[in-house]
Structure 1
Amino acid sequence: MTESRTGAGAGDPDEMVRLHTYGELTVAFTTDFTRDYDNDGAGAHVAGSAYHPEYPQWMKDRNEDWYWLGGLTLQTLSLDDGTQAMPFVKPSGAAPPDGKGPILKAPASWTWMYDDSGAHAHMAGTCYRPVPPAGYVALGDAFTDGVDGTHRVPDPATWPFSHFMCVREDYAHAGSYGAWIWNDDHSKGDYAFTGWQVSAALPEGATFSDEGRRMLLAVNTFLTDPRTSHPSTPPTSPTPYVLSLPVQGTSTGNTPAVPQLTSQTQPAEYTTATVDYSVVVPFTGITDTELSLTQKTDGSAFYTVERQNRYHLVDFGTNTSNTDNPGNTRQVSVGISDSQSSTFTQTYGLEVGYERGIGLKPELSTIHFNLSTQLGYATTTQVSVMVTETLTQGMPLPAQSSAALWAGSHRICPRRADGTYIDPDQGQPFDLNQTLVYDTSP
């Protein structure tokens, strides 16, 4: 299950720090934007503005072509530096499947969605929707540059629209409409605008059969409501799309040795942990309050979620008499409780528990992805070794001997690009709901 990469990879100094490859796409992030429009002076009750992403300096230094997939719009007149992030993508160099075209293609054309004619704002707002070529999907709308008061059409020959792309349909999946962003209600304009976020959450009642193999990533873009009023509920069309990225975790093949009691000295609480599985996810799926947004995009844009495998000493005893002692029956609590799961999810954005398995929730981030099978578990949900239960085990103590009882134990650990753990305790530990290990010495 080791990931195979083409293009940017382990030998690239920016790997994990700023970029990572998922199949045919290499993904990176920017916090740099140029304003295309704000509605100051239009008379609308709600402030609104629109932007396109710009290359950060490190991306310029690489002298490569990166592409954007949709514009950004916000309920504000200006964007503070380092407060929003958006992905850029580029082809990784991996060959497409037989019969498939390139991973990215420019829009076949553009459809006008809105302009603020008649509003008398200080800038000119014009919003267009990309029309994808056959076999491709557009992920979001975009405003054109109207800072000088000119309503423009997208120009595919000049930046930024020379680098606007649609993605091949097998690298996209239906998401859902997220939050309402802003509208121009009460402006003096001739047309109506309402913008909606695009979310990686599935449509109500929908399922995603590939959720253990592909990651749904919303790219922080928007869709313009096609209705000419100012509705308070999302439209039913068009379908909002997000990236669908193939994810392949890494298996080291390392497993901890089954513990043995080799003396009458009490062993350590935990055996030495080995990392047996890991998977890489964008920073947008992990809550890390110690780093600013720019520190993430420019220094830890991708996080490794690793599974540490070890054994937990749950009981130890010594019998100094010359008579065997049947000992007590030991009850061992295993699995992960709902309260443990909830606390870890709220703190770090990563859900760990029996019902859901290990997942990134679109309600907490821009990602929908289940990591369970990538981290070595047999199922994506209802992970049996995580069931909260009390196991019963006898602890007989032979004469002049010691005895120890261990439970298999895992720890789910999100780690930054520099190798540090975001959790001071490294991650969420839990003892496995499986056979305990008992041993005596001598």
Structure 2
Amino acid sequence: MTINDNNAAPSRPMEPIKLDNLLISFTTEFQRVWDTKNLRSSPAGFWRPAPPPDVLPGYFSMGDIAIPGFANINGTNVAAVVREADSPSIDSTKGKALRRPDNFELVWKDSGSGAKTYVSIWRPIPPEGYVALGLVCASDHEKPSVNSVRCVRMDLVTPATAGPLIWSDKGSGAKQNFSAWSIEPPIAEAGEICFLPGTFTGVQSHSRPSSYLASYALRVPLTVQSNAAPATPMLSGFGSPSPIEPATVTQVTRLPWFAVRDDMHPLEQLRLSPYYRLERADRYVLVGHEHNAGDQYRSVKWTAARAQNASLLQVFNRLTAIEFDRAWPIRTPGDDWAIRFSASLTKTFTHTETSSGGWGKFYPLEVVALAAKNTMVAVYQLQSEYRLLRVDNTAVTFGVEYSDDESLFLSQYPSEKDAMITCPSPKASDHEQGEASFGQDEIPVLPTEQVMVTTDTAP
């Protein structure tokens, strides 16, 4: 028997996630389809997302929700729901983002269990070019309505796998065996986020599903807004240059609420800050300067400290879950994310270098320059600060910094011909032994990278 539980707090609309002609939003309102109180099995409840028509008009479920236990999930759980965008696909050959299922295939029913009520679980059969993202329950043995769920166009999803067990009918006495499993998103590629609507999959056995069982996650690109880079500093005289140039916000990416850990409940995040802004501000920092008043070239050397700090990076990750050099979240026992997902930032956003190994470099950088006669020279290094902001522009936590040893800039006064900067990469063997501690006046065990800054002006 279907029981209506609609006592959840009213939902607040958010700007939907747009993927081509698909709109994705979230609801905290559900309708209970059935539970296992009448079965001789472990407790479980099966719910259908019920987006309120006055808040989320035209939105549909992609499948039902299964939970262990009999708790009322209204106002405590969240599920993704979808609707067709008003504008068509940018590719006119692709058609609609959503379609009704053509039919349903019976997966399990409670025949033989002796339960007082009938229940059954069905798999939607999608039209060609579309996929079903979850199973659908019924409080009888009849097929669900084709309007109870929507299938998603195949190019808008990515394959997923079965996750932890939610429930099995073991002990129910039903003629058929059945087990319900959560779905695990794949590890996101750089520049995308893969997330699940909250649906479940299932098989006619008590064993874990094999890899051939089709499961899917939504896949959305993490777009980056780019602004002009800061102007390279130029010397205008023989006086000491400024040690730090003004910072410029050069790149901004927007993260959905469920991909960020904050010091509020996830559903408060959905209500108060449905999106977060992760921004990168770049600036040039002075590595060193030298006034060569003589009439010969002079070699000068400075040591540039890394802006990266291993301890601060660990704390930033613990507070926000965000990783800069790999996908997150890193799965640990007891994870309780409102929406299961995997996200990975673009390499152009997290690394100004051509190599992605910079976030693991904490040892100092040695910089060598040649100062021409009667010349002031200065070498600058590009440094970035990353800040995570809520919708109201408050910071979630402190910012973290990153320095780029490939973006070194030479300025000289008086201005001569173009300077040449090279940054040879260290050999792999240079780093195989890891980092070593060293005192204030000691040289680190590992060879430091050298940057040779030269000009083509004759002495």
TM-score, normalized by the shorter chain, greater than 0.5: yes
Q: Is the 8 A contact 2:105 2:125 kept in 1?
A: yes
Q: Is the 8 A contact 1:125 1:151 kept in 2?
A: yes
Question: How far 1:262 sits from its partner (Å)?
Answer: 7.4
Give CA-to-partner distance per residue, 1:353-376, whole Å, 9 cap, x none: 3xx3xx444737633343224627
Q: Is the 8 A contact 1:175 1:198 kept in 2?
A: yes
Question: How far 1:436 sits from its partner (Å)?
Answer: 3.9
> Percent same amino acid at aligned positions?
22
Q: Is the 8 A contact 1:28 1:301 kept in 2?
A: no
Question: How far 1:26 sits from its partner (Å)?
Answer: 1.7
Partners of 1:438 and 1:225 in 2: CA distance: 64
SS of aligned partner of 1:66 = coil
In the other structure, the counterpart of 1:310 is 283
Matches within 5 A, 1:103-182: 103-121=97-115, 124-144=118-138, 146=139, 150-156=140-146, 161=148, 164-182=149-167
Q: Is the 8 A contact 1:386 1:432 kept in 2?
A: no
Match of 2:229 among 249, 255, 266: 255
Please identify the structure whose Cα radius of gyration is greater.
2
Give CA-to-partner distance per residue, 1:141-169, whole Å, 9 cap, x none: 1222x3xxx44431235xxx1xx111111
**Structure 1 residues 243, 331: CA separation in 2 closer, same or farther (over 3 Å shift)?**
same
In the other structure, the counterpart of 2:173 is 188
Partners of 1:244 and 1:75 in 2: CA distance: 27
Q: Is the 8 A contact 2:79 2:198 kept in 1?
A: yes
Deviates more, 1:180-189 or 1:132-141: 180-189
In the other structure, the counterpart of 1:85 is 78
Match of 1:43 among 15, 40, 44: 40
Q: Is the 8 A contact 1:215 1:368 kept in 2?
A: yes
Give CA-to-partner distance per residue, 1:36-74, whole Å, 9 cap, x none: 121124221x32111111225xx6246x30122121111
**Structure 1 residues 95, 333: CA separation in 2 closer, same or farther (over 3 Å shift)?**
same
**Structure 1 residues 404, 65: CA separation in 2 closer, same or farther (over 3 Å shift)?**
same
TM-score, normalized by length of structure 2? 0.73
In the other structure, the counterpart of 1:285 is 259
1:55 aligns with 2:33: no
Question: How far 1:309 sits from its partner (Å)?
Answer: 1.6
In the other structure, the counterpart of 1:244 is 219
Give CA-to-partner distance per residue, 1:206-260, whole Å, 9 cap, x none: xx7xx34543222211101233xx12x33333221111234432222x2123345
Q: Is the 8 A contact 1:201 1:362 kept in 2?
A: no
Q: Report the AA paired with residue 248 of structure 2.
A: T
In the other structure, the counterpart of 1:7 is none
Specify which structure has the bigger relative contact order, considering alpha-carbon pairs within 8 angstroms and separated by 6 or more residues.
1
Q: Report the AA paired with residue 212 of structure 2.
A: S
In the other structure, the counterpart of 1:29 is 26
1:296 aligns with 2:269: yes
Q: Is the 8 A contact 2:38 2:115 kept in 1?
A: yes
**Structure 1 residues 43, 226: CA separation in 2 closer, same or farther (over 3 Å shift)?**
closer
Unaligned runs of 5+ in 2: 1-11, 293-297, 415-459
Deviates more, 1:212-221 or 1:27-36: 212-221
**Structure 1 residues 73, 438: CA separation in 2 closer, same or farther (over 3 Å shift)?**
same
Q: Is the 8 A contact 1:250 1:277 kept in 2?
A: yes
Partners of 1:435 and 1:77 in 2: CA distance: 58
Q: Is the 8 A contact 1:341 1:352 kept in 2?
A: no
Q: Report the AA paired with residue 165 of structure 2.
A: W
Question: How far 1:128 sits from its partner (Å)?
Answer: 0.9
Question: How far 1:104 sits from its partner (Å)?
Answer: 0.6
Give CA-to-partner distance per residue, 1:306-325, whole Å, 9 cap, x none: 22222345669999xxxxxx
Partners of 1:257 and 1:76 in 2: CA distance: 59
1:66 aligns with 2:38: no
In the other structure, the counterpart of 2:417 is none
**Structure 1 residues 26, 41: CA separation in 2 closer, same or farther (over 3 Å shift)?**
same
Give CA-to-partner distance per residue, 1:282-317, whole Å, 9 cap, x none: 2222222x2222222233223233222223456699
Match of 2:197 among 206, 211, 219: 219
SS of aligned partner of 2:271 = helix
Partners of 1:37 and 1:367 in 2: CA distance: 27
**Structure 1 residues 151, 41: CA separation in 2 closer, same or farther (over 3 Å shift)?**
same
Partners of 1:77 and 1:317 in 2: CA distance: 73
Q: Is the 8 A contact 1:200 1:362 kept in 2?
A: no
Partners of 1:138 and 1:309 in 2: CA distance: 44
Question: How far 1:121 sits from its partner (Å)?
Answer: 5.0
Partners of 1:258 and 1:68 in 2: CA distance: 52
* RMSD, aligned α-carbons: 3.9
In the other structure, the counterpart of 1:200 is 185
**Structure 1 residues 40, 201: CA separation in 2 closer, same or farther (over 3 Å shift)?**
same
1:411 aligns with 2:411: no
SS of aligned partner of 1:93 = coil
Question: How far 1:395 sits from its partner (Å)?
Answer: 9.1
SS of aligned partner of 2:146 = coil
In the other structure, the counterpart of 1:323 is none
Partners of 1:124 and 1:317 in 2: CA distance: 85
Question: How far 1:136 sits from its partner (Å)?
Answer: 0.6
Partners of 2:176 and 2:108 in 1: CA distance: 7
Partners of 2:319 and 2:209 in 1: CA distance: 30
SS of aligned partner of 2:323 = strand
SS of aligned partner of 1:60 = coil
Match of 1:430 among 391, 396, 402: 402
Unaligned runs of 5+ in 1: 1-13, 203-207, 320-325
Partners of 2:99 and 2:330 in 1: CA distance: 27
